[in-house]
Amino acid sequence: MATTSPASPSPLRVGLIGYGVAGAVFHAPLITATPGLELAAVVSRNPERQAQIRRDHPGATVLDDVEQLWTAGLDLVVVASPNRTHVPQATAALEAGLAVVVDKPLAATAAEGEALAALAEQRGLVLSVFQNRRWDGDFRTVTELVRSGKLGRVHRFESRFERWRPQLKGGWRELGDPAEAGGLLYDLGSHLVDQALTLFGPVSEVYAELDCRRPGAQADDDAFVALRHADGTRSHLWMSAVAGSLGPRFRVLGSESAYVVDGLDGQEDALRAGGTPADPDWGAVAPADYGRLGAGDDAAPFPTLPGAYQDYYAGVAEAVRGLAPVPVQPRDAVAALTVLAAARRSAVEQRTVSL
C-alpha cells in the first residue's frame, strides 16, 4: 500500500519595512534564501527603490505605506527602517497581531526596548532582534574557544569594528539627535556589546570615550568602551570610522592561551556582491585568513568556523511556528541598550559608571 509523507507547511509570509542597505543587502536576500519563508511585501516610498524591489524580488508586492502591511495576510514583519522608527513600527506590528524582527538597535533606550518586549509577551507574539554578527565565522570560533576551555580563564576580550571613512557620507546614522540612535556607539557598538554580553554575561562597570573626529560630524565616529563583567572578565571594544590602520578583529587573552584574528567576516561583502547562503561554500574562510591560537612562539593557525547568517532566519521561522525559542531574545537587546546608555553617560561625565 502506498504511503504519503505529510505535506510541508505553507511558507510564512514576510513583510519588510525599508529597502536601504539593511533591507536590500541583508534582510531581503536572507529571507528569500530561508526555506519556509516567503518575501511577500516590501514597503518603500522611494521610487528608485521601488523599481529596485521589483527587479530584485518580482514576486513581492511593493507598498508605499507601512499601514498596508497590517491587512496584507502576513505572518512576520521585519523592521529595517531608520532607527527612530523601530519602536513605533514594531509596536504597530505587534498590535496588529504579527510576529516581528527588528534590526539593531531594537530601540533608542532600554525603557523603550523593555516596553516592546513586554508588549510581545502580553500578546504571545514572537519579537526578535537582528544581531547577525553572532553568526560571523570569527565570532562563532571565539565562542567555541571560550566555551570549550581551550583558552583557560579569559581575562580580557578585545573586539574591534574599525573602518577608514574620513569623509562624512550623510544620512540619519550621522545625526546627533539622541532620538535618531545614530553614531558608531549605537550602530557598531550594538554588535560589539551584544557579542561581549553573549560571551561573558552581565556588566558591572562601564567606561567610554566618544569622539567626533571628522569635520562637521554631529555624532560619534570614534569610540572606545571598556566593560567589567560580573564574572571579572574585561571587554575592551573599539569602533571607528577614522582608523587608518586596522587593529585585529578579536584578541582574546586567557590563562592558558590566546586567540587573535584579523579582518572582517566575509558574509556582508558576499551579500553586497549578490551572493546568498545557497551559494557553494557560503561563509567558508580560507586557511590564509585563519586566526592564531596559542601562547608566544607556540601560536598556530586555528580553523575559522564558517559564517552562518542563514541560521538566524531559520531560527526565526521555527520560533514563529512555535517549534523553538527566538534566536535573539529581545531582553538581550535591552541589556545591551542599558550598557550603551551607560557608555554615553560615562563619556559625558568622564567617569566609570556602575550598573
Q: pLDDT tens digits, residue range 78-130?
A: 999 999 999 999 999 999 999 999 999 999 999 999 999 999 999 999 999 99
Contacts of 98 (CB under 8 A, 6+ apart): 15, 69, 70, 74, 75, 76, 77, 125
Q: Quick one: pLDDT at residue 5?
A: 47
Q: How confident is the model at residue 179 (pLDDT cuts 50, 70, 90)?
A: confident
Mean pLDDT check: name the lowest of 137-141, 156-160, 180-184.
Answer: 180-184
Q: Which three cell numbers stand for residue 238?
A: 573599539
Residue 159 CA from chain centroid, whole number: 15
Are 206 and 346 spatial neighbours (Cβ–Cβ below 8 Å)? yes
Where do the domains of the chain lie?
12-132+315-324, 133-309+337-354
Is-above-0.75 flag for pTM?
A: yes
Which helix (H) or strand (E) segment holds residue 197: the answer is helix 189-200
Q: Which fold has domain 133-309+337-354?
A: Dihydrodipicolinate Reductase; domain 2 (3.30.360)
Task: Name the 3-class secondary structure at 124.
Answer: coil
CB atoms within 10 A of CB 107: 25
Class of domain 12-132+315-324: alpha beta
Same topology, domains 12-132+315-324 and 133-309+337-354? Answer is: no
Largest CA distance in the chain: 77
> pLDDT tens digits for 294-307?
999 999 999 999 99
Q: Quick one: pLDDT at residue 315?
A: 98
